Chains A and B, each alone.
Chain A
Amino acid sequence: MTTAAEPITEYRSWAVEEFRLEEEPYYVPVQDEVDIFQSAWNNKIPVLLKGPTGCGKTRFIEYMAYHLNRPLAVVRDGKAEIETESNLPLVTVACHEDLTASDLVGRYLLEGNETVWIDGPLTRAVKAGAICYLDEVVEARKDTTVLIHPLTDHRRILPVEKKSQLLQARDGFLLVISFNPGYQSALKDLKQSTRQRFVAIEFDYPPRETEAEIVRHESGCDPDIALNLAKMAEKIRNLREHGLAEGASTRLLIYAGRMITQGVSPRRACQVSIVWPLTDDGEIQRSIEEVVSSIFEE
């Protein structure tokens, strides 16, 4: 994903560790999370982001990656010189329940009659000094914690077992993980020994006015619409834990806002971009639709 220039997004490709954000991602700080993250990065303390889905965790990490600068060493005519400051590369890994340690570290692949070692995304981030963002880390298999532990304490070391190597992380490398305490079952909680290696920043959906502003900015919809969407989200979130696993995320609100901007009627837009994605339960769908129809006239 990229926040590249508006008109046409051409096909582009990066090596995982070279992906950098070129434009400032839009992010509205709600509290002091920017400062906290900055301090953590300065001190090489890994960060744990907690919060419900679609409340801006990923956007925040992009925003931080863009703003955290680091001298970029450029080799020119055989001599290294520090030329510019560049933002940090960002390696994002979405974790799933079959994600194993070797998916992160790397593996041998067969090529011709030989095997070739391919670095995994975590290894690349360690080498490149990038921010490595493991999204929904509790979903991954437990063996990944074996990797996380030495990387997240003072050692900052990644053991590459199959190659019998240890990698010392380059400056700038920071492990960031996220998890959503809401819907994981008790089984999938993070272990204390893992948790206690991170500073944690808690996210929640922004307050109504802020959220409205975000929705307005991201979707380009009318401020009134944005405010109504934010109000509606607030109401729907009241149903969390009472039939709804999660409240309506800011992301969905933005989708709705965009649909409305495109000329879809607000009620319909909310239906397709909020109600239906949120739940399959007919009764709850209707309840939410009643909330929607109370807030929007058509």
Chain B
Amino acid sequence: MTDRSPSESPLDTAREALRAFPPALSQEFESAVSVVEPILEADEFGHWIETGLHVARHSLRSWEAASEYFRSSGPMLEQVTYDRMREWCDVGVGLMDTSPALAGALFRASPQVLPHLAVNQATDWAAQGQSLYKGTWKSGSLSAQYFDVSPNVLPHLPLSQMRLLVELIDSLASHSYELASACLGMAPNVLGQLERSDRAPFLEFGGIVAHTAWVDARVYFERGPVALHQVNPDQRGRYLGLAGQVALKVGRLGHPYFIESAQALSEVERDLHEGLLELAEQLAPHSGDAAMEFLKSSPRVVQRLSIDDIARWQEFGLNILQQSVDGGEAFFRLESTRGEEVMEALSSRVDLDRVSELIRMYCKALTGIDVGIKSSEELASKGVGWVDESSPTTEGTTIYLPDMVERYASKEDNFSVYKVFATHQAGRLEFGSFEYEQSRTPQVFEPAANGQSGGNGAAPPQNGDGEAPGEIHTDMERFFDRFGDRRLAHDIFTIIEDTRIDTIVKREYAGVRRALNRLQQAAAERRRPIENMPARQAMVENLLRASLDDAGNIRWPTELADQLRTPLRILNRIRHEGATVEDSAAATQLLYDWVAQVPNVELETDDWSEFEDHSMAGEQDEGDTDLMPGSGSSGLEESFMPFMPGSEERPYDSPEPVDFRGDFKPELVQLLMKLKGETGTGDAPPIPLTKEQLQELLEKSVEISINELMDMDLAESSGMFLDNLLKEVNSIQGDRPEGQQAMGDDSTGADDGDELPVEAKSFYYDEWDFRAADYKPRWCRVQEQRGEVGDVSYYRETLHAHAQLVQETRKQFEMLRPELFRKIKRLTDGEDYDLDAVIEWYTEKIAGATTETKLFYRRNKVERDVAVAFLLDVSASTDEEIQKHQDRRQDDQFDDDPRKYLSWWAQRRAEAARHPGKRIIDLEKEAVVLLIEALEAIGDKYGVYGFSGYGRDNVEFFVYKDMDEPFGDRTKERIDKIAPVRSTRMGPAIRHCIWKLQNTDAKVKILMLLSDGRPQDHGYGRDRTEKEYAIHDTKMALTEARREGMVPFALTVDRAGHDYLKQMCQDMAYEVVADIESLPRRLPALYRRLTG
């Protein structure tokens, strides 16, 4: 300690000076002195005091800053020398001129900031804080907040990157200080959640968000880190960079894209992120939307394509993008047909719904039965005994296949898997797996001794041969009744029957042999090791392996080789040509007797060797006599004795099923067939069956394990199962030729006879996106439903009201009735001479002129063969009264301003309610009535439909009269109920009409569209007011009709119709009926002109 004068010590002076300030400062000073004084040299101490006083005296409230200065001095000096601290604090003192509050905040934060910064960084640090200060109170507190959070931010962020945060906050502050402050407050926590390397990119992107969509900033701070965590850690920086690049282009959408794409990426394996991001980065310069849509679509794309193929797909899309941004974006949004096609072409996966029709025809060809093809999932969901959702199977009328196959790298190979699946199942139908009859004798086996076998079984007695009427037991069931262990018998029968089918398939269909071999081999390789199976199970497993034509895969103890040889011979005999399902049954009986005698215990031997199977090498087998158990080697059971360590019998487990063969439930199928009344033996009527009887039947069957069906208690689930089963039986009895309407496009069923409120049938149609110049695949769902039934009197009254007109049109139309023959003259050859021509010819000849020799005529038959579909616009606007409708035309601006339109509309409605007048729809209806009368006179085929709806998922399509439906009271009643509904999405309705016409046989097909305004619907265009999109789609739909050889004709009662009809129809015919009232007269006349 140096000497200092006691009276004039700086300390006393300071104490004196501090009295001028609030006492809190003095207290702070005193406690600081006690810490600081012992550490500092005298001159340092003096300087320290002076600095403090300087700060305190600076301005009115600067004592607060001084107080902070004093308080933080001690902690700072613990970390640095006074010289350093002085240097540091000078920066703070420098801030005094800006704002004492800032300086105070700086001093306050200093002790905690010091560990993170070098002293010479202080200036920079302070300058950043200072940059937030704009001289206002709010900016001051924000700036102060900066210093306050610095201790918490700096551990996460080097000072150099702090700038990013400050810029971000500064940018936000220009919009909202509250937001900026909130974000700044969140910063430490947010940054803490991020990896070190991600922080700068995070802030950079944040800066862009703050710039382009500042309101999203808070959400970004709240959810950004979580979103980012969904991305592969190595790729997050890259992702943020991409998001920033995109955000700069797309503005407000940037942040939602960031969140959504990250979400999408989370559904994709992380290893793929790098590749996907790279591809997205290539897109970003062309279109930010495309890049992000690409990422958003990636989960679905990844399911179908490998990363290399995705690159090819992206390249294709990129090409489109370069030509048309809209097209490219639709492509990556998966809303373009081309995108689908390219993906389909690149993907090796085969989807059932793409090939089901093909396979259905294939199976129909093979079996001659009207089989349907459905997804296995569907059968499983019926809950009638099948539970596996992915393996092929059949219940006798439909072949069920997995939804998709993606086993191999090429489409051809995957399709061949389907083909093998289908061929095997079709084989079961074609070669009679379900047609087992006890009374038929086997062809290659000796008929089994009729009676019980497997002496150990407690088989129930048989019912004899005479089948009582109403007999509910199936032959298959009775066959299994013979065996004590039903499961074992069923397993053996399955193996044998599958072997038989596979063998026949290979023999009959040489072309599938290769694919079948491949699947057999794959199945064989997947078998579980046999070595620790108990003996009986091992034997069954070996039989199954043998059935896969893979003898090399059979493992069996050498010592017991003899015990396996005969069973294998039995199995292989089923391969003989001419073997029937009865042979399979006979073989099952023989094999069962063998296998059941094999004790199901673990064998004590290590000698599981490959088994050499001679019988497969084409060795002659000699008769049945030695196929009986125990023959040859006496006492089957005894031969196992030496290998049994006296352990217990283990419960028998069925072998793992073979994938390409799928489920085989002959007993259940026979039962189902019987219930449906289609037994192989004849047309026995369906058998009514009580639930109890059914239950009894099913309880013993091993093909159903009820508890597998549902997680319920047994009684409940079995009850449910029975209900399902009965329902299934009844439903199939209801509509028998089920196969025809296998999937998707249902034909309009014949179920309209009894007018139950039929559920709407759904149809999907593409929609034309003119911006992308491509179709959006399966975009609209058309819901076809019957029109409501009203009263027949409307029709009668309309006819009455227009009696005169009806008369006229009828007459006109009757005149249209085709003359059957039309004479064509001047032909070189024909039926006969045309006398006029001959005379002329002869005269000229005599006169010496050379004349032509076209002297024949022919009568050509003209047949009128016209079908017409009328499509009525029943959108809400047809509710308008005619008078009003015309008024509206005078102030047409409503069409352009939807907001005004609404209030106007409400007003109109109110008025309309007061003065009900004739509405557009009434005239449409009248016109239809008249036309129907006319059409009935002429005999053309016709259908009357209406359409409306809301949104692409719900295009309502009403059938008032179908093409092939005869005209009757029903039609009249439905016409009564034609009523305005909702919007006008024309495209899909037209497409559905095209489909209807396609299924109608006629030479001339006409599609007549009757509307009252332009097409518009929710989502039918960029927004409700956009007209282009809807018009282009409608135009495309009409063009499609033309392409199909139909004659589209648009008719509108909208006087403003010319402008858009011209665009919609271009070179097609259309008409604007100016005088709406004349519609009923005009429509028939037009039709006549169109077809005359």
Contacts and interface: CB of A to CB of B under 8 A. Distances in A.
Interface of A: 97-98, 100, 102-103, 107-108, 110, 113, 141, 185, 228, 231, 235-236, 238-239, 242-243, 267, 283-284, 286-288, 290-297
A290 B362 contact: yes
A110 B361 contact: no
A288 B365 contact: yes
A28 to B, nearest CB: 24
B362 A231 contact: no
B510 A291 contact: no
Interface string B724-752: 00000000000000001000000000000
Contacts of A110: 838, 853, 855
A293 B511 contact: yes
Interface in B842-867: 842, 845, 853, 855, 858, 860-861
Contacts of A113: 842, 845
Contact of B364 (A103, A242, A286, A294): A242
B368 A238 contact: yes
Interface in B665-717: none
A294 B361 contact: no
B365 A239 contact: yes
8 contacts: A185-B1001, A231-B508, A235-B365, A238-B366, A267-B511, A291-B362, A293-B512, A294-B362
Interface in B513-542: 513-514
Contact of B419 (A231, A288, A294, A295): A294
Which size class do B's interface residues fall under? 20 to 34
Contacts of A296: 510-511
Contacts of B367: 238
A287 B423 CA distance: 13
B467 interface: no
Nearest to B360: A287
A278 to B, nearest CB: 12
Contact of B831 (A102, A287, A290): A102
B831 A100 contact: yes
Given A239-B364, A296-B511, A297-B513, A290 B855 contact: no
Contacts of B359: 290
Contacts of A287: 357-358, 360-362, 365
B833 A141 contact: no
A41 to B, nearest CB: 32
Given A113-B845, A267-B511, 11 more contacts: A110-B853, A238-B364, A239-B361, A239-B364, A243-B361, A290-B419, A291-B366, A293-B511, A295-B511, A297-B510, A297-B513
Contacts of B365: 235-236, 238-239, 287-288, 291
Contact of A284 (B361, B368, B513, B1001): B361
B137 interface: no
B861 A294 contact: no
Nearest to A107: B832
Nearest to A239: B365
Contacts of A231: 508
B358 A294 contact: no
Given A239-B364, A239-B365, A294-B423, A108 B833 contact: yes
A288 to B, nearest CB: 7
A238 B430 CA distance: 12
A295 B509 contact: yes
B995 to A, nearest CB: 16
A297 B514 CA distance: 9
Nearest to B514: A297
Contacts of A238: 364-368
Nearest to B845: A113
Interface in B11-55: none
Interface centre among A113, A287, A288 (most CB of B within 10 A): A287
A228 to B, nearest CB: 8
Contacts of A290: 358-359, 362, 419
Contacts of B853: 110
Contacts of A284: 361
A236 B368 CA distance: 9
B171 to A, nearest CB: 60
A107 B833 CA distance: 9
Nearest to B510: A297
B649 to A, nearest CB: 45
A275 to B, nearest CB: 12
Contact of A297 (B364, B370, B511): B511
A98 B513 CA distance: 51
Nearest to B842: A113
Residue from A141, A238, A239 whose CB has the most chain B CB atoms within 10 Å: A238
A293 B842 CA distance: 66
Contacts of A107: 832
Contacts of B855: 110
Contacts of B832: 102, 107
Interface string B472-483: 000000000000
Interface in B829-844: 831-833, 838, 842
Chain A CB count within 10 A is highest, among B357, B362, B853, B861, for B362
A290 B511 CA distance: 9
Contacts of B361: 239, 242-243, 283-284, 287-288
A292 B423 CA distance: 13
A284 B535 CA distance: 50
A284 B364 CA distance: 11
Task: Among B365, B510, B514, find the residue whose CB has the most chain A CB atoms closer than 10 A.
Answer: B365
Interface in B490-509: 508-509
A294 B366 CA distance: 10
A188 B901 CA distance: 59
A238 B419 CA distance: 18
A22 B985 CA distance: 71
